[in-house]
Amino acid sequence: MEIDGRRVVELAIHVKLASEAVLEAARNLATLRPLDGSSEAVAWRHTLDELVALNVELGFMERILRTAAHGDVALPRAGRNGRTLTS
């Protein structure tokens, strides 16, 4: 299967935006951290661990997409607001 280089770039941008959204969710989750050792704290820790695992997987996906571009296509960086930034 061949994927047009433009589509690879679009996928990379969306993966990058998803990764940034996961990081923001983790930051927001940090403000909700329970103070005690209750079952809520266990659930909170599990949720944070899953967000970290998701972000790692998104990072792998981004690297794969960058490699798939073979350097022929300069992948733009996505800004926090979702707009494409050029380097």
pLDDT digits (tens, 9 = 90+) for 2-11: 777 788 888 8
pLDDT of 82: 57
Using CA atoms, how far apart are residues 69 and 8, in angstroms rounded to an integer? 7
User: If you search the block for the tokens 């994927």, which residue do you land on?
Assistant: 3
Q: How many CB atoms lie within 10 A of CB 80?
A: 9
User: If you search the block for the tokens 């923001």, which residue do you land on?
Assistant: 24
Q: What is the pLDDT of residues 16-60, one digit of tens each?
A: 899 999 989 989 998 898 887 788 898 999 999 999 999 999 989
Main-chain phi, psi angles of 55, to 5 degrees: -65, -35
Q: How confident is the model at residue 78 (pLDDT cuts 50, 70, 90)?
A: low
pTM above 0.85, yes or no: no
